[in-house]
Amino acid sequence: MDSLPNGNSAAASPPQNTTPAAAGGTTPFPKLTQLTEALKLEHQFLRVPFEHYKKTIRTNHRAVEKEITSVISNVADVSDSENFSKDDAVNHLTSLVSRLQGLKRKLEEGSRTEHLQAQKCRARLNHLESADAENLAEWNNTRVKRILVDYMLRMSYYETAEKLAESSNIQDLVDIEVFQEAKKVIDALQNKEVAPALAWCSDNKSRLKKSKSKFEFQLRLQEFIELVRGENNLRAITYARKYLAPWGATHMKELQRVMATLAFKSNTECTTYKALFEPKQWDFLVDQFKQEFCKLYGMTLEPLLNIYLQAGLSALNTPYCYEDDCTKEDPLSQESFRKLASPLPYSKQHHSKLVCYITKELMDTENPPQVLPNGYVYSTKALEEMAKKNNGKITCPRTGLFINTLDAVTFDVSLPCIDK
C-alpha cells in the first residue's frame, strides 16, 4: 500500500481502524497515514525489551532444568551406592529438599523479574498507542530524546544517557540495562580480557550458532595470540587443540594463519603477522561484539540518530541551502549541518512548492505568487503589506528595483502544479 504523498488522492485503501487514536476522526487522514508510517519505523523500540524478556525466560528455565536434573540424578546416585548409613540417607534427602525449596524461591524471584520486563514491553506498546494529533509535538519531542539516548548508549556515554532518561522520565522507553550488560563485555575486552565475552557467547550459544557467528572463534584466536605473545608456546598449542580445533572444519584458513604466529615473535616485522599482534585487534573484537550484540537484540547496527539524520538531511538538501541568505529556520543554514550534508544526495520532489522570499510562507492559490517586471517573484501578501506600509510603493528587496504602484506588477504566475 502506497504511503500517500501530501494528500494526493492516489488509489489508497480507506483508513480502517489500523491506527492509534481510535477516537474516530480527530486526526485528519493524511496526518493519520503519516503517523502510521512513522510508527512502523519503531521495530527496535518494541523488539529490544522483548528479546531481553525472552532471554530472562530462557535463562531462568535453564537454571530450573539444571537443578531438577541434578536433584534427580543425585537421588539415583544415592539409591545406587552401596554403603551409607541411615543418617547419611536422611541428611542427603533433607539437603535435596532444601535445594528444591531454594529453587522455588529463585523461581519466584525470576518470575518477578520477568513480570517487570513484560511490563516494560507493554509500556512500549502503550506509548505507541498514545500517539495522536493532540500530543504530537510532545510525542515527537520524546522521540528525539529516545533517539539521543540510543546514541549515547552506543557511543558509551552512559552517564549522559541516564541523565537524559531521568530528566524526561523516559526510563521505560529506553534500554539502558541492556546496554549495561554489553558494557561489561566491552570494558573487559578493552582491558584485554575475554572471559566476560566468552561467557556471553555461551549464554547465547544456540542463537549465535543459528546465525553462524564466528565471534567465539575470534575470541579464542585472540587468546591464542596472547599466549604466543607471552612466549607460552606449549600452552598455546594445548589451548589450540582444545578450543581452536573444533572450528577447523569451517574456518581452516584463518586457523592456519593464526597458528603460524607460533613461528614468529610478537615484535615481528613481517606485515601479515605483525597485524595479528597489533593491539588494534582488540578494538576489532569490540566492534565485532557490538555487531553481534545488536543483531541478537534486533537493533540496527548504526545509531538511530545517524539513520534519521542522514534521511532528514538528504530530504532537506537543496543547492539553495548553501547560499548566504538561506533562512535561519533551515537546519542546513548552519555550518555543522552543512558539513554533514555535503556528501549526501540532494532531495527530489515531483511537485512544485514556492516559498516567498520575504515572508517565507508558501505561495499557493490562497496567496498567489506575483512577478515584478524584473522577473523576481514574491507572494501577494508580501507585496500588499509592503505597499500598505509605503504609500503604495514597492521595492524589490533583492535588486532594489522601485515600482510606483502595485498595478505595475505583472500578471500572476499560473502554476498548475502547485500543491495546497
Instruction: Name the minimum Å distance from CB 47 to other proteins.
Output: 6
Instruction: Name the minimum Å distance from CB 305 to other proteins.
Output: 7
Instruction: Name the minimum Å distance from CB 199 to other proteins.
Output: 24
Instruction: Name the minimum Å distance from CB 85 to other proteins.
Output: 9
Nearer to other proteins, 280 or 348 (CB): 348
CA distance linking residue 138 with residue 69, whole number of Å: 53
Nearer to other proteins, 103 or 286 (CB): 103
CA distance linking residue 109 with residue 115, whole number of Å: 10
Nearer to other proteins, 72 or 263 (CB): 72
- Helix 215-229 to helix 252-259 angle (10° resolution) is 10
Nearer to other proteins, 50 or 282 (CB): 50
Instruction: Name the minimum Å distance from CB 9 to other proteins.
Output: 14
Q: Which residues contact 120 (CB under 8 A, 6 or more apart)?
A: 49, 53, 172
**Conformational region of residue 196, where left means phi above 0, alpha means psi within -120 to 50, and beta covers everything else:** alpha
- 360 near 327, Cβ under 8 Å? yes
Angle, alpha carbons 238-239-244 (nearest 5°): 115
Nearer to other proteins, 242 or 360 (CB): 360
Nearer to other proteins, 232 or 334 (CB): 334
Three-state DSSP class for 196? helix
Instruction: Name the minimum Å distance from CB 134 to other proteins.
Output: 16
CA distance linking residue 256 with residue 221, whole number of Å: 11
Instruction: Name the minimum Å distance from CB 285 to other proteins.
Output: 21
Q: What's 354's DSSP letter?
A: -
Q: Which three cell numbers stand for residue 334?
A: 548552519
Q: Which three cell numbers stand for residue 233?
A: 608456546
CA distance linking residue 101 with residue 30, whole number of Å: 59
Nearer to other proteins, 53 or 289 (CB): 53
- 319 near 346, Cβ under 8 Å? yes
Q: Which three cell numbers stand for residue 276?
A: 595479528
